[in-house]
Amino acid sequence: MAHRTITVLPGDGVGPEVTEQALEVLLTVADLYRHDFTVHRRLAGLAAIAEEGVAISDETFDLCAGSDAILFGAIGSLPAEQRKNATVRPEQALFRLRKDFQFFANLRPIRPSRSLYHASPLKPEYLDGTDLIFVRELSAGLYYGHLDAAIPGKPSEIRRTERGEEAVDTLLYTEQEIERVVRAAFDIAAVRRGKITSVDKANVLSSSILWRRIVDRIAPDYPGVEYEHILVDAAAMFLLRDPARFDVVVTENLFGDILTDEAAMLTGSIGMIPSASLGVRRTEAGVFGLYEPIHGSAPDIEGQDKANPIGAVLSAAMLLRHSLGLPDEAAAVEAAVEEVLADGYRTVDISEDGAKLVGTRELGKRIATAVRRP
């Protein structure tokens, strides 16, 4: 019996709809395996701005800090007309969590389910054997420009010159920032199929040249792991041409953002992909982390019971594995997802002729019911 604390931040848009299902699955696991999970449910993003005036309150933040893990839904942006002069923005919640907790390694597994080959634009023979995981650097690079713009040497701005406007973003990585994410990726490869692909743009970017050097320097510490460097444009091509060639893919923040949306299509829907953002603090049985599906708030389907909850449910499985130290329970959740898909149940994004079309709630309930203790 394990005592664990989870802070749940459903967010807005379809976030609350899919998170509800993920939470139900976690509570089913607690029940079946006799664990004691304390769950704090709090606001973040648009809902928090409406109720509390900030994207995430200090109280909520402190609750997260005292938890073993954070289960996150999604947060949307302010409507364009409100964005212009807004000082409080929903996405500040995620940036604060990522930055302050130093969630530097973002894990995104891509494993197309045989039951969903029809939903992928690729032919089945290209999908066979595909089982890869991205390790995307999440704490530095271009994304932090607007947060770090006040730091000398890291400009991020649009400015006026004599020739008209110009804009600058800064892609800056320190040696330490590269090293910690690359080591995390090698650690993962060592317990998978023992292969790492490091993706960069070393033919043009200085940050990539340093990245490549550090990978070369770390690799000898992992004699059982085979590694290669490839350029990001070639990586985009190989993801479609031969996705099964990849095991662990490690890359910087922006490349990882773009390539993982592309890779998500191998599984048929962005609603299928979970993620774990892991930091530096150890919990009782794992690493403190934030878990969320990779999709956004999906305003076009919000409130319609249409969102695919599987990305959120599989994020809960990653939470069990990486932060709570419960790998058997994580595997039981993953098996339940496969079982429900093999039985033909689908949300509309992954549906086909003859499938059993169900809503977010029913798919979630069916997954929870399929979780078994061996």
Q: Which option in ligand NAI, Mg ion, none does residue 323 bind, with CB closer than 5 to 8 A by kind?
A: none
Q: Which option in Mg ion, ligand NAI, none does residue 264 bind, with CB closer than 5 to 8 A by kind?
A: none
If binding is defined by CB under 6 A, does position 21 make contact with ligand NAI?
Answer: no
Query: Residue ranges of the alpha helices (H) in the chain?
Result: 15-33, 46-52, 58-65, 80-83, 92-100, 124-127, 145-148, 175-190, 206-218, 232-241, 253-264, 310-322, 327-342, 360-370
Taking CB atoms, the residue at the shortest distance from ligand NAI is 296
The span of 96-104, 198-206, 292-300, 336-344 binding ligand NAI (CB under 6 A) equals 292-300
273 contacts 110 by C-beta, under 8 angstroms:
yes
Q: Which option in Mg ion, ligand NAI, none does residue 44 bind, with CB closer than 5 to 8 A by kind?
A: none
Say how far apart CA 287 and CA 76 lie, in whole Å.
27
User: Which pair of structure tokens corresponds to residue 284?
Assistant: 């009782």
- Residue 131: active-site member: no
Minimum gap (Å) between residue 351 Cβ and ligand NAI: 11
Dihedral of the alpha carbons of 291, 294, 297, 300, in degrees to the nearest 10: -150
The span of 65-73, 109-117, 141-149, 250-258 binding Mg ion (CB under 5 A) equals 250-258
15 contacts 73 by C-beta, under 8 angstroms:
yes
User: Which pair of structure tokens corresponds to residue 303?
Assistant: 């409130």
Catalytic residue from among 68, 117, 201, 227: 201
User: Which pair of structure tokens corresponds to residue 338?
Assistant: 């496969």
- Tell whether residue 307 is among the known ligand binding residues: yes
Q: Which is nearer to Mg ion, 5 or 260 (CB)?
A: 260
If binding is defined by CB under 5 A, does position 257 make contact with Mg ion?
Answer: yes
Q: Are strands 36-41 and 3-11 parallel, antiparallel or unpaired?
A: parallel
- Tell whether residue 330 is among the known ligand binding residues: no
If binding is defined by CB under 5 A, does position 349 make contact with Mg ion?
Answer: no
For tokens 């190989």, name the residue: 238
Q: Tell me which amino acid residue 272 is.
A: M
Q: Which option in ligand NAI, Mg ion, none does residue 346 bind, with CB closer than 5 to 8 A by kind?
A: none
**Helix, strand, or coil here: 299?**
helix
- Residue 365: active-site member: no
17 contacts 309 by C-beta, under 8 angstroms:
yes
- Residue 233: active-site member: yes
- Tell whether residue 151 is among the known ligand binding residues: no
Q: Which option in Mg ion, ligand NAI, none does residue 257 bind, with CB closer than 5 to 8 A by kind?
A: Mg ion
Say how far apart CA 162 and CA 239 lie, in whole Å.
44
Which of 232, 235, 248, 298 is the binder for ligand NAI (CB under 6 A)?
A: 298
Say how far apart CA 225 and CA 275 lie, in whole Å.
23
Binding mask 236-275 for ligand NAI (x = CB under 6 A): ---------------------------------xxx----
What is the total count of residues that contact ligand NAI (CB under 6 A)? Answer: 22
**Which residues lie near ligand NAI (CB under 6 A)?**
14, 18, 74-77, 94, 269-271, 292, 295-301, 307-308, 311, 349
Q: Which residues are catalytic?
A: 143, 201, 233, 257, 261
